[in-house]
Amino acid sequence: MACLPPSEPFQFLPPPVYTPSCDAPTYSVEPGPHEQRLALAACRHGRRHTPNGIFTRKSSGITIALRDQEEGMSHPTYGRGALIGGDIALKSTHGVISVTVKVEGHLSLAITEGVSTVITFLNQTNNVWKADEGSASTCPSMFPFEMTLPLGYQDGDRIRPLPPTYNAAYSGVPDLFINCNYTLSVRVVKARNLKLWRPQKTYVLLNISPYAIN
């Protein structure tokens, strides 16, 4: 049998030279000064920080205070399936026969040639208070309310997730403008001499931007 020559001892090569990497940026659940949320996934395990601010809007003798909002925001924000909760206060309850809260979602498309389309994909109403017929019940001056946003909306035979608040313009021939917005309105209906008169309406604009994509 032939003998093989002894193999050379195994040599370890030195590792390549690495350039030190930069530190990872500091993470924050809140957007920075030049950042904007596009979506916020709803937390099912209670781990996400819940803001404790109050958003207040007053108009026509009606005050609405919405809970669980960020301090200093110009509009409240919610996510898909979120609970909208707060309190409604009336400056005068004389003749009030009903109080309702409505959430609507609108999608509008427009082009520079003058053609536009508006679609109402969300229309949800909550009867907060209603007088009993034939009774002398008096509307309270303040009462809480709660209503839950749906996760999606019906589009033909499909259920689609609620779109986020969105506003964009696309240049072209023709130009295209797209707007998706949500509104929350409080309507107080009063009666005078046992007859309905022109209802008082107060609309509170909400930038819901459904912060939930899951």
pLDDT digit string, tens, across residues 184-212: 888 888 876 555 545 444 433 334 444 33
Given pLDDT bands bounded at 50, 70 and 90, which one contains residue 141?
very high
Distances (CA, A) of 186 to 76, 89, 199: 15, 11, 11
Q: How many CB atoms lie within 10 A of CB 99?
A: 23
pLDDT at residue 113 in the model: 75
Decide which of 68 and 23 is more confident. Answer: 68
In 60-171, where do the E strands start and end?
A: 62-69, 83-90, 96-111, 116-130, 142-148, 152-155, 158-161, 166-170
pLDDT digits 0-9 by tens, 90-119: 988 888 888 899 899 999 989 877 788 999
Amino acid at 121: F
Measured between alpha carbons, how far is 170 from 58 in angstroms, rounded to an integer?
A: 36
- Which among 7, 149, 154, 16 has a CA at the least distance from the CA of 78? 149
Phi-psi region of 93 (alpha: psi -120 to 50; beta: other; left: phi over 0): alpha
Say which amino acid occupies 168.
A
Does the pTM exceed 0.75?
no
Residue 42 sits at φ, ψ, to 5 deg, of: -65, 135
CB contact burial 186-201 (16+ within 10 A = b; e otherwise): bbbbbeeeeeeeeebe
Residues 167-194, mean pLDDT to the nearest whole number: 82
In this prediction, residues 112-136 reach a mean pLDDT of 85
Mode of pairing for the β-strands spanning 152-155 and 53-59: unpaired
Residue 210: the pLDDT is 40
Domains observed in the chain: 53-206 (2.60.40.640)
Place of tokens 């924000």: 77
CA angle 88, 94, 96 (to 5 degrees): 60
3-state secondary structure string, 3-71?
Answer: CCCCCCCCCCCCCCCCCCCCCCCCCCCCCCCCCCCCCCCCCCCCCCCCCCEEEEEEECCEEEEEEEECC
Poorest-pLDDT segment among 17-26, 98-107, 152-161, 177-186 = 17-26
**For residue 47, pLDDT beyond 70:** no
